[in-house]
């Protein structure tokens, strides 16, 4: 399955799509990137003197690239276009802040995929190649009404 098709099948829209591009997706994991846009509504009021990307959005970015894109790839071989993945659990550790305007890179490693459930190790780096956060995410297949 092509990377552009995976991105097209994501069930997210602006301002909640945190996948700008995919560099790699295979049976073992996914790698992609996203730039947190400075003017996005999602940052208004989060540390009003110096905006910081909330940890929940860093987790969401890791989940969209590392779990959902990988899940779409893994289940895409069946030809089922209406399958998406929803986050069911997360355990994240945050090491450095990310600021609006920064580009991050996410890499996931599949732990397992069976019975419609996917579990991955995820890591995020900033533009200076510093580890920003890491953790374990799990998700499950759900019907995607976006077709």
98 is catalytic: no
**pLDDT at position 81 over 70:** no
**pLDDT at position 80 over 80:** no
Q: Assign 7 to helix, strand or coil.
A: helix
What's the pTM value of the predicted model, to 2 decimals?
A: 0.90
Mean pLDDT across the stretch 52-76? 93
Per residue in 40-53, pLDDT (tens digit) is 777 777 777 788 89
Mean pLDDT across the stretch 63-76? 92
- The residue range of the domain holding 139 is 3-143
Q: Which CATH number characterizes residue 104's domain?
A: 3.10.129.10
Per residue in 107-118, pLDDT (tens digit) is 999 999 999 899
Among candidate residues 23, 38, 41, 46, the one labeled active-site is 46
- DSSP secondary structure, 91-127, as one string: EEEE-S---TT-EEEEEEEEEEEETTEEEEEEEEE-T
Tally the domains of the chain. 1
């Amino acid at each position: 399955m092509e990377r552009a098709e995976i991105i097209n099948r994501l069930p997210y829209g602006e301002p909640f799509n945190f996948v700008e591009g995919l560099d790699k997706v295979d049976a073992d994991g996914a790698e992609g990137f996203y730039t947190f846009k400075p003017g996005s509504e999602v940052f208004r009021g989060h540390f009003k003197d110096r905006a910081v990307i909330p940890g929940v959005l860093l987790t969401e970015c890791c989940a969209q690239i590392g779990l959902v894109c990988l899940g779409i790839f893994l289940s895409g071989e069946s030809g089922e276009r209406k399958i998406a993945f929803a986050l069911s659990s997360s355990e994240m550790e945050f090491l450095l802040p990310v600021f609006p305007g920064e580009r991050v890179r996410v890499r996931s490693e599949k732990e397992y995929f069976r019975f419609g459930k996917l579990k991955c190790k995820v890591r995020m780096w900033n533009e200076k190649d510093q580890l920003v956060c890491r953790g374990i995410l799990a998700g499950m297949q759900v019907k995607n009404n976006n077709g």
